Structure 1
Amino acid sequence: MTPRHTVRAASAGAALALILSGCSGTPEDPADGVPGQLRIGYQSIPNGDLVVKHHAWLEEALPDTEIVWNRFDSGGDVNTAFLAGELDIALAGSAPVTRGLSQPLGIDYQVPWIHDVIGDNEALAVTEGIDEVADLAGRTVAVPFASTTHYHLIAALDEAGLGTDDVQLLDLEPPDIQAAWQRGDLDAAFVWYPVLGQLYEQGASPLVTSGELAERGNVTADLAVVSTGFAEDHPDALATWVEQQDRAVSLLREDREEALAAIAAELNLEPEEAAEQVDQLVFLSAEEQASGDYLGTADAPGALAEHLRLTAEFLAEQGEIDAAPDTTAFENALAPAGAEHAARP
């Protein structure tokens, strides 16, 4: 790999180090408007983002741009990095994106792509003897705060007539959840793969999944967010990024074996394990995303805006954000131009 094509791993600690160092801003761009650098935040989630990374499609499509891949453990960490000015494009769950677009964060970013609609790859895993959500009263429960699983945990507790004060709630990142579970410190955790799979291997059982909660109206997704400044300054580069994501979805549908091999390599899994995780997500093509059900079009924003508003209302009720923005605010945050372009014949 040449110096131009950089891959860098960063976690929450790395994001914090970036903030403390006072580094910010994007390197100067060449005179022709091509970005000198594209800083991407990714997570260990089995979707097309890992296919694009593994095959270095962006490096090929943007040869004059340094592609920097930064790994994050949660959407909350991604929001922190955006606030520090250290990311251009990243993956975050719909709940942290909703928080990011609301006050007090008010991050200036947009949603150009839906990486996946979340299903059973996120779940509330519990120890033996916990048979229903109501049994969590007084128990120790871990979840990464400001994540889709945090949102779904609150929703599950609410359905059972419990609040966060009824459990001992711990804010832990996925690797810390796995370590705490091994020590026997937890009764339950709402988390995603690969840590969720590790908990199952250690005897945990799923009590409720995100897919089940979605069927009851609490839809979540893994979204792409792009800084408004980057989107405005480099629309062609953003469109290229979307094209590569759509290419990955096509590979997942048309050459599943090759796509699974790429994802398995990125997650250090066997292809069979990768297949099991991929099957728990829903992937959408650019054509599907540029429909009224999802991102919509520039003239007619899609239903994703309403899902984000409903998420915001719930988070406001729980005191997680100051107030829920109206639907228009979320419609304005949708950036469907790339999907529209990629969907054209």
Structure 2
Amino acid sequence: MNIRTLLQACTALAFIMASLSAAQAETIRVAIGTQDTTINCATGGLMIRELHLLDKYLPHDGKYKDVQYDVQWKDFTSGAPLTNEMVAGKLDFGAMADFPGTLNAAAFKKAGKRSEFITVLSGSIEGSGNGIVVPTGSPIHSVADLKGKTISVPFASTAHSMLLRAIKAQGWDPDTDVNIITQAPEVAGSALKAHKIDAHADFVPFADLFPYRGFATKIYDGSQSHAPTFHGALVDADYAKKYPEIVIAYLRATIEANRLMAQDPEKYSLLIEKVTGIEAPVDYLYHGPLGLQTRDLTWKPEYRQAVASAIDTLKLLKKTDVELDANSIIDDHFIREAFKQSGLDYDAALKNYAKQPLTANDAQTGKRITHFNDVAQVWVEGEDAVRSYAQPQEALSAQEALTKQGKTVRAVFVQDHTSGLKLLAGQAWYVRSGNRQIAAFLLRAGADDYAKKVSGQVSDYASVRADAAQAVAAR
């Protein structure tokens, strides 16, 4: 046999051996259900998928040495259909809020199986993220004005739970004092535009997206309920038991997505906009510094309580006859191990309740901003970084000056003077006091109370913007 023939034989043998090896290799499915438009799930879904982060962490040694991975992604607009596919064995992971996540656990238990929450993705210990809106121009300014009115909400959602709490706080009967109907966000948007409903309660991001798009006004933020809420990731418990290293790989990808978002919230807000169509300023409202929610991956007691409250609400609504326990639904050992492998201190993060910090200099004075309840920001289209200002009046003046220069301002953000809640400037009420100082508030009632304390005057956005335009013109 000559050398050429020998080489051909070796090549053929190598090909055969490789083919046999490939045929024998195990293929493991990693099927992940996401909610892309529920933007605070982004670091557990959309970003991992779009940036191919999972590929970096899936194991390829030990029992996974010759494994082939079949990574599947499927997007949903709510938790219920995602749960149906998880229970049917078509998905291994899913991202959803505390309330539908508890329904997920109930559905699994009824099927003789088990699912478990493995991490928080984003949340608020006060309840921010959920909210109630009314049509633009409505005379309704608070929940107290909703008696006898028609309110729509996606049933069995975390917003539904919030709405029931808000009604209960008024001392009302949800069956007789208000008319609650079920509507998905896309249906409610049209109903609000046509003034066919008096109000709509919804989850992230719709209570802020609809106002940003100009056809609704936010009258209630979930933080007023002081009821913790979160979105998190669940896994089929049998899958997690069989492939714990894959669960940890998914969580390590989540940790990296979270880190990237913290480093450059503008860039990744634009990515969310590109994928979902939800405008980047709304994404930034949640994911940016001092945002409406914290991207907190740890199981704080408040989030455990949110699951317990969801169980109680399910019983109240008679949505399940399955007995559930919050501790049996939550498993924190996977996220603890993912933190460890990522070189992070889980216990330190567990104790940290701070919002994503803002580290910035005032765009007007150049001085470092050190007080944050009156901070304001301006996002100019085409600029990589959002501009920050120590006071709302500086931001409003900058908005007018930029507009005069022909630049497009995508959004102006302000903070509620009392709570520190991040707001879209166009949705806030303002109090003018001495030295042209203004303070922003989510609610008219909050502005009225503050105005009395400082002998100030309450104004809406149009009025304070007109003042800013006049000041800029006078320069």
- TM-score class, shorter-chain normalisation, is 0.7 to 0.9
With over 3 angstroms needed to count, the CA separation of the structure-2 counterparts of 1:323 and 1:131, relative to structure 1, is: farther
What SS class does the counterpart of residue 28 from structure 2 fall into? Answer: coil
Distance (whole Å) between structure 2 residues aligned to residue 304 and residue 264 of structure 1 = 28
CA separation of 1:94/1:32 partners in 2, compared to 1, >3 Å: closer, same or farther?
Answer: farther
One-letter amino acid of the structure 2 residue matched with residue 160 of structure 1: Q
Q: 1:48 aligns with which of 39, 43, 47?
A: 43
Contact 2:269 2:284 in 1 (8 A): yes
SS of aligned partner of 1:70: strand
User: What is the CA-CA distance between 1:250 and the residue it aligns to?
Assistant: 1.2
Partner residue, 1:137:
147
Tell me, in whole angstroms, the C-alpha distance in 2 between the residues paired with 1:314 and 1:272: 33
Question: How is 1:62-141 mapped onto 2 (pairs within 5 angstroms)?
Answer: 62=58, 64-102=68-106, 106=110, 108-118=114-124, 120-127=128-135, 128-141=138-151
SS at match of 1:252: helix
Shift, 1:206, TM fit? 1.5
Q: Which one-letter code corresponds to 1:182 in the other structure?
A: K
- Deviations 1:191-239 (CA, angstroms, capped at 9, x unpaired): 13443344213442212112222xx2x1110011111121112111111
Give 3-state SS (helix, strand or coil) of 1:131's partner: coil
Q: What's the secondary structure of 2:312's corresponding residue?
A: helix
Alpha-carbon shift at residue 48 of structure 1 (Å): 1.1
Partner of 2:221: 209
Give the conservation status (yes or no) of the 8 Å contact 1:90–1:224.
Answer: yes
Structure 1 range deviating more: 127-136 or 266-275: 266-275
State how far apart, in whole Å, the 2-side matches of 1:44 and 1:337 are: 29
**Do the aligned partners of 2:132 and 2:219 also contact (CA within 8 Å) in 1?**
yes
Structure 2 residue 182 is matched with structure 1 residue 183:
no
What amino acid is the match of 2:99?
A
Rounded to whole Å, the distance in 2 between the matches of 1:105 and 1:150 is: 23
Q: 1:255 to 1:199 in 2, by over 3 A?
A: closer
Residue aligned with 1:157, SS: helix
Alignment of 1:189-204 (within 5 A): 189-200=200-211, 201-204=213-216
**Superimposed CA distance per residue, residues 147-201 of structure 1 (whole angstroms, 9 cap, x where no aligned partner):** 1101101111111122331322221221121122233221111113443344213
Q: What is the Cα deviation at residue 274 of structure 1?
A: 2.5
After superposition, the Cα gap between the structure-2 partners of 1:38 and 1:82, relative to the gap in structure 1 and judged at 3 Å, is closer
In structure 2, give the amino acid aligned to 1:149. Answer: A
Which amino acid is 2:326 matched to? F
Q: Which amino acid aligns with 1:307?
A: A
Q: Distance in 2 between matches of 1:95 and 1:31?
A: 42
CA change 1:37–1:52 in 2 (3 A) is: closer
The residue that corresponds to 1:172 in the other structure is: 183
Paired residue secondary structure (1:225): strand
Change in Cα spacing, 1:34 to 1:332, as seen in structure 2 (3 Å) is farther
Report deviation, 1:145. 1.0
Q: Match of 2:295?
A: 283
Please give the TM-score of this superposition, normalised by the length of structure 1: 0.76
Structure 1 segment 293-332 matched on structure 2, within 5 A: 294=300, 304-322=303-321, 325=324, 329-332=325-328
Displacement after TM superposition at 1:319 (Å):
3.2
In the alignment, which of 224, 241, 245 is matched to residue 233 of structure 2?
A: 224
What residue is the counterpart of 1:39 in the other structure?
32
1:340 maps onto 2:336 in alignment: yes
Q: Which residue is 2:444 aligned to?
A: none
**What corresponds to 1:23 in structure 2?**
none
Q: Which runs of 5+ in 2 are unaligned?
A: 1-22, 61-67, 344-475
After superposition, give the CA deviation of every residue in 1:272-300 in whole Å (9 maximum; x if it has no partner).
Answer: 44312322221124xxx1xxx52xxxxxx
Cα 1:269–1:103 change in 2 (3 A) is: closer
C-alpha distance in 1 between matches for 2:268 and 2:103:
32
Q: CA deviation at 1:244?
A: 0.3
Partner SS state of residue 80, structure 1: helix
CA 1:32–1:156: 2 relative to 1, 3 Å: farther
Q: 1:73 to 1:303 in 2, by over 3 A?
A: same
Residue 104 of structure 1, CA deviation: 9.7
Structure 1 residues 46-87: Cα deviation after superposition (integer angstroms, max 9, x where no partner): 331322122121245449322222121112232233233322
- Once residues 183 and 173 of structure 2 are traced to their aligned partners in structure 1, the CA distance between those partners, rounded to angstroms, is 19
SS for the counterpart of 2:261 is helix
Decide whether the 8 Å contact of 2:27 with 2:70 is kept in 1.
Answer: no
The structure with higher relative contact order (CA 8 Å, sep 6+) is 1
> Percent identity at matched positions?
19
Gaps of 5+ in 1: 1-29, 295-301
Instruction: Give the stretch that moved more between structures: 54-63 or 198-207.
Output: 54-63
Q: What amino acid maps onto 1:168 in structure 2? A: N
Taking structure 2 as the reference length, the TM-score comes to 0.57
